[in-house]
Amino acid sequence: MTAEQQEYLKYGGIAVGTGLLVYLIVKSSKDSGGGQQDPTGNDNTGGSGYYEAPFNAQSVAENLFSLMDGYGTKEAEIIAELTAVNQSQFAKVVQAFGQRPYYLFGSNDWFGTMHGLKYWLQEELGVTSDYYRTLKLKYPNYL
């Protein structure tokens, strides 16, 4: 191999290596959105390009109901249950919660009347409480 060919080989290797390095840097910056790319290929990405775990509004509604039903309310747990729920997901939770009998004196008394999630949260957290105010700021269209 001549000196000229060695020179071409050296510069060609540097060019290929540099191109590969640039490609890997650009590719990793596109992938660093914090989520995982959809491994199923079903495009369950919500338009973001990253996999989003399915949201189960019925499960959240049932959990909220169990935290509020009966005697005593677990305020901090209600807030924790709704921490990762966005505005559109909360609309689904409200719908899944539906109308449930609210008993004035705990569970299953004679005076239960049907009410939605807004009423339940107002009664259980108290309209003037910081818990309810926080939720009202987060979900102004529904509370």
Residue 98 and residue 35 in one domain: no
How far apart CA 83 and CA 87 sit, in angstroms, is 11
User: Residues 6 or more apart from 48 whose CB is under 8 A from it?
Assistant: 33, 35
Output the domain CATH number for residue 63: 1.10.220
The single-letter code of the amino acid at 96 is A
Residue 75 and residue 127 in one domain: yes
How far apart CA 138 and CA 121 sit, in angstroms, is 14
| pTM of the entire predicted model | 0.62
Residue 72 and residue 131 in one domain: yes
Residue 48 and residue 97 in one domain: no
How far apart CA 35 and CA 89 sit, in angstroms, is 18
Q: Which residues pair with 115 in a beta bridge?
A: 100
Q: Has residue 143 been placed in a domain? A: no
How far apart CA 64 and CA 49 sit, in angstroms, is 31
Q: Which stretch of DSSP H or E encloses residue 100?
A: strand 100-102
Using one digit for the tens of pLDDT, what is the confidence trace for 87-107?
A: 999 999 999 999 998 887 655
What pLDDT, on a 0 to 100 scale, did the predictor assign at position 40? 43
How far apart CA 143 and CA 11 sit, in angstroms, is 66
Q: What's the rounded mean pLDDT across residues 32-45?
A: 48
Residue 120: give the domain boundaries: 57-138
